[in-house]
Amino acid sequence: MTTTGKRSVPKRLVLIAILSLLTSVSAASTIAGTVMNLSSNKPSSGDQVILYRVDQTMHEVARAKSDAQGAFQFERPAGSRYLVAVFHQNVSYHTPLLAGSEPITVSVYNAVPRLAVVHEASNTLFPRLEGPRLNITEFFEVSNPSNPPRTLSAPFSFQLPKGSVLDSAAVQPPGTLPFLLGASACGPRDQYCIAYPIRPGSTKIRVLYHLPYDGQVSITKPVLHSVEQVALIVPEALRFEAIAPSIFWNRGEQNGLSTYVAASLHSGQSLTFSLSPAGHAAGTETKATTSAQRDMPLYDAAFTGTPLAHIVGAPEPAVPLPAGKHFLAWTILVGALVGALFLASSVFARTYRSSVPRDRDLPRPEANQRFICQRA
């Protein structure tokens, strides 16, 4: 302290202020990474790379091109979370949400219009009564075990039962969050196409649709593609009856849900069954049924009640995300649910494949897109 009547600033406060200034100046860090083409096991040059800053909103910050060694580099503001997207042959691949400055690698694959090894591994239906209509959630698990790994650029097609009304479609690419996207009518009646590339690994596609229900409904489910197994998971409020009983077998009941499975189905076949009240008035549910719907194996939980990455159109300066302090919690919740979805579907597939004869002969975000996280 001085003795001249003026109060001096303590040296400790001056030092703290200087350190804070230096920290804020140096906190803007470099994001460096490499784009690797896993189809050729070589760096990928000339790909468009986009940096998105993520806080309460999602902003496109900068664009670059990968160089001859597949390298790219960005500067980012201090303290922000971000993700990096790479467009290779009009198919996008992106990192998870990141916060650090460690070097990153974005893997891409060559896109091809045909891949004989791509097939439906499983098809699972969850019917549920809601007033005068029957809601059905249907999951397709599409496997792409290509070697060397490549992306199938052809659209995925599916066919709904006659008289169904499609409500929505969503896709969960390998290892990332699910997102909503549009499905357009194509081919015969009740057939739809999703223009989304099938990347190496397991892609899950969910469609929601409904049919009118007046106490009983007969459903013919077309088999558009060869599939290893089809499963119906039926709540106890409904009674399931197969028109050709030998096709299905009952895998038993758990938590108020009965599972019926058909295996090794080929394109052109169809499954016909009826659903009617099982001793309960239509629209009513027992305590067990309500619990079963709440405790379903989290197939649908990853798609409902949580933020979904919805990918459409061209990038915009800012897109709403969940509110600031809750964003990380939402991210963790979605990640946990997606992990549970992968685990539940993998366990389900392994369980039924182990007891089912195997058919040995079974065979985006796209360019100029934007990411939107929204509540379903």
Q: What is the pLDDT of residues 324-355, one digit of tens each?
A: 333 333 333 444 444 444 445 444 444 444 44
Query: Has residue 179 got a pLDDT over 90?
Result: no
Q: 12-108 falls under which CATH superfamily?
A: Immunoglobulins (2.60.40.10)
pLDDT of 266 = 92
Q: Are 328 and 322 in contact (CB under 8 A)?
A: no
CA 351-273-283 angle, 5° bins: 95
* Bridging pattern class, strands 227-235 and 119-130: parallel
pLDDT of 7 = 52
CATH class of 119-375: mainly beta
Mean pLDDT for the stretch of residues 191-204: 94
Q: What is the pLDDT of residues 240-251, one digit of tens each?
A: 999 877 789 899
User: How many Å from the N-terminal Cα to the C-terminal Cα in the chain?
Assistant: 62
Mean pLDDT for the stretch of residues 120-128: 94
Mean pLDDT for the stretch of residues 10-26: 52
Q: What is the pLDDT of residues 245-292, one digit of tens each?
A: 778 989 988 888 999 999 999 999 999 999 998 765 444 444 444 444
Most confident of 137-151, 207-221, 248-262, 289-303: 137-151
pLDDT of 347 = 47
pLDDT of 30 = 87
Residues of each domain in the chain carrying CATH 2.60.40.10: 12-108
Mean pLDDT for the stretch of residues 172-182: 82
